[in-house]
Amino acid sequence: MPRWRVPATLFAAFAVGTYGKASLSELQREFDAGGARERNRFFNGASTVLRKMLAIKDTTEKQQLLGFACLSEKDYSCCGTAMAQASNKLAKQSAKKKKKLADILRSISGFCKTVAEAMASKEWPSAKSLMLDAMAMGRPQLGNEAFDKDLGGQDMGNMFKGALYEINAKIGGGDMMEMPPNMISGGGAGFYIPGLTANPFYDSSVIRAAKVAEDNYDVIGPEVRAWLQETQVAGSEASKRWVKRKEVENDLKTQGSWNEVPLFNHGLRQELCDFLPKTCQVIDEKIPEVWSNGNGLCSISVLEPGTEVRMHQGKTNSVLTMQLAVSAAKSAGISCGGVEKHPGWQAGKATVFDDSFNHAVWHRGAAEEGLRAVVLCRIIHPDFSLSERHGFLRDKYVSIMKSSANEKVNITEADLKRRVDYLQSAEAAALWKETSRIFRAGTSTRPGSREEL
C-alpha cells in the first residue's frame, strides 16, 4: 500500500497566507476518506493537521503544524526550522504549559535538524552516528505523558513517533511494525528503547567497561577463583552463602546447576563484596556503567558440567551483558540472536552480548572439565545518552525508595545524590563521549550510501 503524504509546500503557502482554505478543505476530505478506507494512522494524522490548520489563526501554531507537514514529507531541514521558530516563540510566553510545549518542540527540532545533517553525510559511519544522536534527542518524548496532550492529539504524536521508528530501522534497529528481533516479548515484563545499536554480540575492544575488566583480570581472576574454592570448604562462610543461593529454584534451567550470587544490584554493593573487596573496588572505582546505572548488576555466575539453560530474553535493550571469564570450559557455549559461540568464553577475556535477544547457555562437558565461572555485569548501553541515564536513574531510585521493595534494596538519598552528581559532572560527560566514540567506530562497519538513507 503506498504511503500518502501531505505536500509540505501546501502548508508553507498556507502558513504565509497565500494558499486558499477551500483547496485545503478539499484535501482534508480526501484524507478523511483515505483514513476510513485504509484504516491507516498516517491518514488520520495528516487529516488532523489539515483540520487544525483550517481552524487556527495563531502564527506560532501554524509554524508548529508546518513542522509536522515537513516531517511527513521527510523534509527534515524544513521541520527543524519550523519547530525551532515555534519553540522560540512559545518559550517567551509566561504560561507554564506553553514553556512545556516549547521544550517538546525544541526536542523535535533537534531531532529533525540532526537527521537532516545525517542525510547530507556521504559516509555511513558519520550518518549513523548522527542518526543515533537524533534518536537520543527525540526518544525522551516516547515516555513523556504530556507529549500527545500538549501536541493537541494522539494522531499528531503518532506522526513524530513514526519518524522515530523509521530512523530506528535505518540504523539497524529493526522495523517496529514487524517487531525488531530484540523487541521485548511477554507484555509488560520489560521495555524496548528504539534507536540503540542492536547486535547479538560485541567485540570487547569496543566496550570500554569490558576492556577495564580485562585489564584488571590479574586482580579479579585470582580473588574470584579463591572464593569459589572456599565455597567448597564445608562450614565456611563462603559455602554457607553458596548453599543458600543454590536452594533458589531457577525455571530457566532444564538440567544441571546454574547459580548466581550478586555483587551489585541496582548499582549498589551487596554483601558478597565483603568477600571480594578487590573485585568490587574495580567496579566501584573504574566501571561507572554499573554503579551509576539504575539497572546496574554484577554477580558471580557459575555453570556446572551437565547444565542446559533454555532460550530466554532480558527485560530491556538499554543494557548489555558483559561476562569476564575467570574459569572457562571448552564445552561451555552460548547462543544469542541466532549466533552461536562454542566455546563461549576464554579465561581473562570478556564475552559481551545483548540479552534482549533470545539467548541460551550450556555446559556439556564432563565433571573433570570444571566450572564455567564469570563475573557477569549488566552495563548501560553506550548509545543511551547521559541525560537519559540521569533521568532513568532518578526515576528508578525514587520509585524504589517510595515502595516497600526498598526494605530489601535499601537505597538512600545519599546513594541517589552520589550518582546524580556524577552523571552531571564534567568527568562523566568526557567519559561518555569517549565511550560512545569508541563504540560507534567499532559498530559502524556496514557499508552504505546516501541512497540507502
pLDDT in tens, 271-307: 999 999 999 999 999 999 999 998 889 999 999 999 9
**Looking at residue 375, what is its pLDDT?**
98
pLDDT tens digits, one per residue of 115-128: 999 999 988 889 99
- DSSP-derived letter for residue 327 is E
Asked if pLDDT for residue 175 goes beyond 60, the answer is: no
**Looking at residue 13, what is its pLDDT?**
46
Residue range 22-46: mean pLDDT, rounded: 57
Non-local CB neighbours of 103 within 8 Å, separated by 6+ positions = 87
Residue predicted with more confidence, 150 or 361? 361
Q: Is the Cβ–Cβ distance between 60 and 86 less than 8 Å? A: yes
**Looking at residue 275, what is its pLDDT?**
92
Under the banding of pLDDT at 50, 70 and 90, the label for residue 447 is very low
**Looking at residue 148, what is its pLDDT?**
65
Structure pTM?
A: 0.82
- DSSP-derived letter for residue 184 is P
What the chain holds in terms of domains, given with CATH numbers, is 8-171 (no CATH), 201-443 (2.60.120.330)
Average pLDDT across the chain, whole number: 81
Asked if pLDDT for residue 10 goes beyond 60, the answer is: no
Non-local CB neighbours of 34 within 8 Å, separated by 6+ positions = 4, 40, 43
Residues comprising the chain, all counted: 453
**Looking at residue 224, what is its pLDDT?**
96
pLDDT tens digits, one per residue of 35-71: 555 555 555 555 565 666 666 555 677 788 788 878 8
Asked if pLDDT for residue 325 goes beyond 90, the answer is: yes
% of the chain beyond a pLDDT of 70: 74
pLDDT tens digits, one per residue of 70-116: 887 788 999 999 999 989 988 888 777 778 888 889 999 999 999 99
Under the banding of pLDDT at 50, 70 and 90, the label for residue 240 is low
- Integer Rg of the chain from CA: 26
Residue range 399-424: mean pLDDT, rounded: 86
- β-strand 307-312 against 253-255: which pairing, if any? antiparallel
% of the chain beyond a pLDDT of 90: 45
**Looking at residue 426, what is its pLDDT?**
96
In sequence order, the β-bridge partners of residue 341 are 334
Asked if pLDDT for residue 444 goes beyond 80, the answer is: no
Non-local CB neighbours of 262 within 8 Å, separated by 6+ positions = 270, 272, 297, 298, 299
**Looking at residue 449, what is its pLDDT?**
37
The lowest-confidence range among 58-67, 116-125, 391-400, 420-429 is 58-67
**Looking at residue 36, what is its pLDDT?**
59
**Looking at residue 2, what is its pLDDT?**
35
